[in-house]
Amino acid sequence: MEQQQIDQYLERYLVLLDEYTQLRRDLSGLQSQVYQNIARANFTAERGMRYGQDHYDDRMQSIFSLKIAPSAAGVPVYVLEKPPVAAPAADHKVKEDQDTDSITEEKAESGTTADKKSAQKSKDPLRWFGLLTPAPLRTAQAQSLRAVEHIIPRLVTVNAEMASLEIEVRRVRKRRAKAEAATLKAAERTATPEAQAKMASVESN
């Protein structure tokens, strides 16, 4: 029974190992492509312009949150999620004379809308480098998003499940070893003196 369970664990482990190897290969390939596309963008960039950390926005914030939830087997599953967009705050009305209320409110609303659009645009890292973004830089962003959103979370999840299977295999093997030892001791207690002598001689050899 224990051996059958161990075989099932090992079979699942091999499937995960194959997926893990493929994910690592995909991640390595994506990273190489990202660096190549950034190099292409820098090669065709205007003089004095370089796409790198020098032009990062200091207000940079992650647009993803990491969610860790246990699976049915109790193994952690890692998923990246975009937080829900917060409802816009109510616009503050400017208090002025009754004759200019409507004009002032209209200007305030148009200004608020422009500010919101500007804030949304600034969250896109491509906007940090100006409006005319080269195609290789856009491709690098798409490849990076694929790695961060899909490959890396799945890679970590598969690694966690493999570690869990390794623990389970060790536990089953320990239980099997204890059961075999208990069976052997029981056989020694019930055996005749002649049989005990034979078992002792076999063990000594």
Residue-wise pLDDT for 2-38, tens only, equals: 788 889 999 999 999 999 999 999 999 999 999 999 9
Distance CA(111)–CA(136), nearest Å, equals: 34
Residue-wise pLDDT for 28-51, tens only, equals: 999 999 999 999 988 888 777 787
Chain Cα centroid distance, residue 48 = 36
6, burial (CB in 10 Å: exposed 0-12, middle 13-18, buried 19+)? middle
37, burial (CB in 10 Å: exposed 0-12, middle 13-18, buried 19+)? buried
Global pTM? Answer: 0.67
Give every CB contact of residue 141 below 8 A, 6+ residues apart in sequence.
Answer: 125, 126
